[in-house]
Structure 1
Amino acid sequence: MKNLLFTVFTVAALFSACTNDADVKTFVNANGYTIYNDSLISFQKMIIEDGKVRQVGGEELSEMGEVIDVQGKTILPGLIDAHAHVMGLGFQELNINVAGIETLEATLDSIKAYAEANPELEWIQGRGWNQTLWPENEFPTAADLDKVVPDRPVWLTRVDGHAGWGNTKAMEMANISQDTPDPQGGKVIRDRTGKATGVFIDAAESYVTQHIPAPTAEERRLALEKALEKMASEGITSVHDAGIPAQTWELYKKFADEGNMITRIYAMIGGTGNDFDELSKNGPIKSYANDRLALRSVKISADGALGSRGAAMKEPYSDDPGNRGLLFYEQDELNEMVDKSVSNGYQTNIHAIGDRANDVVLNAFEQAIDEFGDQGLRHRIEHAQIVSLEDIPRFKELDLIASMQATHATSDMNMAEDRVGSERIKGGYAWQKFLDQGTVIANGSDFPVEHVNPFFGLYSSVTRQDHEGNPPNGWYPEERLSREETLRSFTLDAAFAAHQEDVLGSLEPGKWADFIIIDRDFFEVPAIEIWQTKVLETWVAGDKVYGNSD
């Protein structure tokens, strides 16, 4: 017995009779689901033509062109990750990945093994460490790294991307001394004597990263290739890339021009500085290469992350009195950046995690809308992680999209309430509060901060539990999403957040035939199985870009 009532959707032929064209495919014996007219519907057959959906419906649809028997497997619209970092994923595939390792000792063992296996590397680089997983729950030090790699510089980015950890060699190359100041929006972690320990928060990371050789053109090409392959294998047909430079946009265009862009990318220009000036000369690019690319938005960051206590809070951290986090820009500065983006016709998407950062961002959007009008740009707050209860209604008043990442809640639940306390957490990861007031939620992962697998996010949305099913009823279960709300947030509403709901996000006649075939029924399996879902095939514009049917 299904846990939801579905409408079996039958569409009469919307086009003239079809010939046996090789570009026509009919999928039969499908267990398909999609959102249509704000309802979840099920279907057994789907016809695609020239890369787009022609008909979706029941058994009575005539079979045309190539007939593909799905053998009862489940079809879903292609999943859209509304906030991620494509090149970050690619370089994570190239460098060492220490994400999820639960002790400092095991992390160091992995770094040592990687360094020994790659003696030709000038720098040892990687990502993923998370001290909140370790028993000591303390930042690591340069001395720790020196034990395993003393002779070459090492630089490892924290899992959230908002802190870096270097060894003594790296700090020597960066000329770090006791006199090195904390930059605006950053912090050098120091010991009791004032000496830098090896961890650098947010803007302070640049002290070290500016000395790391830039990737070669071949390394960048390989990183993008690996990222696209990885996304396709996980069922992601479209991704919103949260902040890119001009150089990366040129690489994306090259891949698209060569027919190698197997995942659609809705790119955000990184900030309103030189890259924006260069990339905005001809205005927003709404579609490039048949919707394979778009460049009509800007990404700005207002604060750091909760795990490193860099998220900007109105009051001090509950577990670190005196520390309110890091606000990257004062109100006037942020207002000017938003004005520049909005006045040029760009959707503006701002990273805000702490309640103070969210308040400052809301103020910036309010003044921009007052000055320039709504313009239908669909501005977004990225993460909207800890929001004061009195500020949540302002998202609706300003018609903002909440771009949130479900796995952040289940990754952070081991420390979030320690950071902000029992009252402020009521406005944290507050998905249903946003939905109940009519705010659109665009879901994503923030990979490589979180795992690229979108079914981890679908599972977190539905359960608010870890992969062992804890806590038993979910963490703050009143904020859970239904399975229908979850699917919508990863498909149609994510497409809406990119101005693409007319061409992506659901399997409807006239839209691109982006879909996945999976090994179990998302709406029928026990909730604990959702994260275990395997993608068998991924299709973009009617072409199979990944297949694992065996």
Structure 2
Amino acid sequence: MSTRKISISLLIICLIAWSCSKDNSQKATMLIFGGTIYTVDSLVTVEAIATKDDKIIFTGSLEEAEEFKGKDTKLIDLEGKTMTPGLIEGHGHFMGLGYNELNLDLMNTTSYQAIVDAVAERVKLAKPGEWITGRGWHQSKWDSMPAETVHGFQTHHLLSEVSPDNPVYLRHASGHAGFANEKAMEIAGLINLSIDGVKEYEVEGGEVLVDASGKPTGVFNERAQSLITQHIPERTPESDIKAFDLAVEACHKNGITSFHDAGIPRETIELYNKMKAEGKMETRIYAMLTGWDGDLLNEWFEKGTMIDQDNLFTIRSVKLNCDGALGSRGAWLLEPYSDRPDHFGHETLPMEFVKKTALNGLVHGFQVCSHAIGDRANREILDRYEIALNKYPESSKDHRFRIEHAQHLHPEDIPRFAELHVIPAMQAVHMSSDRPWAIDRLGEKRIKEGAYMWQTLLQSGVPIVNGTDVPVEPLNPIASFYASVSRKTLKGLPEGGYEPEQKMTREQALKSYTLDAAYGAFEEDIKGSISVGKLADFTIYNQDLMTVDEGDILDTKISMTIFGGKVVYDSSN
């Protein structure tokens, strides 16, 4: 054979090999079709998508998608169901979610007696001296209040009667207060204090509630909780791993593929690194460093951000807890509480520290996310952000500083979010849960002019990051979506919704759980919409939550969750 013929033969072989390799590289590992697929790119719908490994490689018509089908392609027929990008929990507490599954869950209790009964049952299973802990009670959501109250809270006596040999500590649903029995207070050396003695134990930014005789009622507000919690035994590595696994499972069941974890300590960072190394990180975590640990912040400022190339565990933000919750009257207000005229709430973190952290954040490339519920807390934080942004204008071009909750704003401060490019991370379900009683705390004028101002903020030009603040509220994103578009309680009240002019459209609500939430974490280029090149994270529903009657939205169930191109939850199994 001549040299020329050999060369041509080799060229043909190479062309065939190249063609085959190209075809193989374009074959999808998963093809999804047969339902309504919302891409969230201008709310466009497509017939089908194709993924290869953990990335999207095609969106468009089913006919075109067929070209990506190979012999090993997994086919998922939606059978009329609806799919969106994977939902992003924009503000929650991942380990709190897991431990809520392990400990006493009081989320659905409707009276003080229900709490007492739940503890009494747990006492039967506990050893004498063993701590009983839980979370989820909220006195403003009870059907009735006990006969004996102090500042609108129950006292410990009924609880102490059923748990004489077990210290008990039950966190308020908000996490900003706690309720201890006599045994727990005895261990803390508090039960026999006179009113003067209690003052010696007050914690700056917190409050020990006492009765008329000067004895603690069992309620510890804000930072005063540490008087009790410092005596609760540490969590174990085994319980941490179990809580982590339960949190991942809960995310999958609720269609959550990414999670903004609002404030983690160094121990949790170590745990997450371990879970990732072991291949157990099946929820993408965008973590905020806890601002309670100044040494931790300084360490990270020195070494810089950790932006994970595997898109599983990223650290580039800081969480500051600057006031309390409205339910516990810890939110920091410009004017006193309507139902407690001598009280303005609590500044739980010095504003000078907020300013210092904002400056450090800009210098070292960290986003600052500050918890603020009351109008004074929001104003003070915006003031500190503004000082920092003015000092470092070059570092301020894409800072994406956030205020977590931004629940109650003075009308003059609402436009400042857009002016300063500060992102409000607001949990719509809080309005649904809190609004019926929040009017007692703030009065009608403050509620109508500055509370839960979603549409006003959106129209000003800022995105809203949605979520649930789990375990403050259940992780269920459908409930928060419903609250976003209806402004009603989960019982469907009132007709027309509270302050209906502040409702989100369904498009805005979906975006707040997907693309806008991704933007709030600098991740809009890799997630938040169904676009070629982005991560293959999807949430599939039993019905079209974008078109069903408003009254039927809460009937929406998660049918399937796909994470990184793999089915991690299927309700039919």
After TM superposition, the score normalised by the length of structure 1 is 0.94
Bigger shift: residues 165-174 or 336-345: 336-345
Q: Which residue of 1 aligns with 2:56?
A: 53
Q: Which residue of 1 aligns with 2:6?
A: none
Superposed displacement of residue 174, structure 1? 0.8
SS at match of 1:523: coil
Q: Which residue of 1 aligns with 2:298?
A: 277
Match of 1:84 among 92, 95, 100: 92
SS at match of 1:62: helix
SS at match of 2:153: coil
Q: Distance in 1 between matches of 2:302 and 2:112?
A: 47
Superposed displacement of residue 62, structure 1? 3.3
Q: Which residue of 2 aligns with 1:381?
A: 403
Q: How many percent of aligned residue pairs carry the same amino acid?
A: 42
Match of 1:465 among 475, 488, 507: 488
Superposed displacement of residue 277, structure 1? 2.8
Superposed displacement of residue 344, structure 1? 2.1
| Long gaps (5+) in structure 1 | 1-15
Match of 1:286 among 307, 326, 331: 307
120 and 516 in structure 1: CA distance in 2 versus 1, 3 angstrom threshold:
farther
Q: Distance in 1 between matches of 2:554 and 2:525?
A: 29
Superposed displacement of residue 309, structure 1? 0.5
CA offset digits 1:10-57 (Å, max 9, x no partner): xxxxxx964288862111212111211xx1111111100121111111
Written as runs of structure 1 = structure 2, the 5 A alignment for 1:217-232 is 217-232=237-252
CA offset digits 1:473-519 (Å, max 9, x no partner): 01111111011000000000000000000001011000001001111
1:214 aligns with 2:234: yes
SS at match of 2:339: coil
Written as runs of structure 1 = structure 2, the 5 A alignment for 1:241-256 is 241-256=261-276
| Long gaps (5+) in structure 2 | 1-20, 147-151
Letter in 1 for 2:506: R
For the 8 Å contact 2:84–2:538, the answer to whether it is kept is yes
1:399 aligns with 2:404: no
CA offset digits 1:246-292 (Å, max 9, x no partner): 1101111111121111111000000151222334442011225x101
1:180 aligns with 2:180: no
Bigger shift: residues 326-335 or 256-265: 326-335
396 and 21 in structure 1: CA distance in 2 versus 1, 3 angstrom threshold:
closer
Match of 1:140 among 154, 170, 190: 154
Larger Rg belongs to: 2
Q: Which residue of 1 aligns with 2:504?
A: 481
Q: Which residue of 2 aligns with 1:10?
A: none
1:95 aligns with 2:108: no
Q: Which residue of 1 aligns with 2:149?
A: none
Q: Which residue of 1 aligns with 2:219?
A: 199
For the 8 Å contact 1:301–1:352, the answer to whether it is kept is yes
Written as runs of structure 1 = structure 2, the 5 A alignment for 1:510-549 is 510-549=533-572
Match of 2:34 among 23, 29, 37: 29
Q: Which residue of 2 aligns with 1:302?
A: 322
Q: Which residue of 1 aligns with 2:168?
A: 154
Bigger shift: residues 20-29 or 116-125: 20-29
1:506 aligns with 2:529: yes
CA offset digits 1:349-377 (Å, max 9, x no partner): 00000000001000110011011221412
Q: Which residue of 1 aligns with 2:370?
A: 350
Match of 1:107 among 101, 115, 122: 115
Q: Which residue of 2 aligns with 1:40?
A: 43
Letter in 2 for 1:119: K
Q: Distance in 2 between matches of 1:370 and 1:451?
A: 39
Q: Distance in 1 between matches of 2:125 and 2:552?
A: 37
Runs of 4+ in 1 over 6 A off after TM superposition: none
Superposed displacement of residue 59, structure 1? 2.7
CA offset digits 1:164-205 (Å, max 9, x no partner): 000011001111133133211100011122211100001000
SS at match of 2:472: coil
How many residue pairs align between the two structures?
532
Superposed displacement of residue 232, structure 1? 0.9
Q: Which residue of 1 aligns with 2:12?
A: none
Q: Distance in 2 between matches of 1:22 and 1:213?
A: 53
Superposed displacement of residue 534, structure 1? 1.1
Q: Higher helix fraction: Structure 1 or Structure 2?
A: 2
Q: Distance in 1 between matches of 2:276 and 2:554?
A: 31
CA offset digits 1:515-548 (Å, max 9, x no partner): 0111111112111222221111111110111111
Match of 1:408 among 430, 445, 451: 430
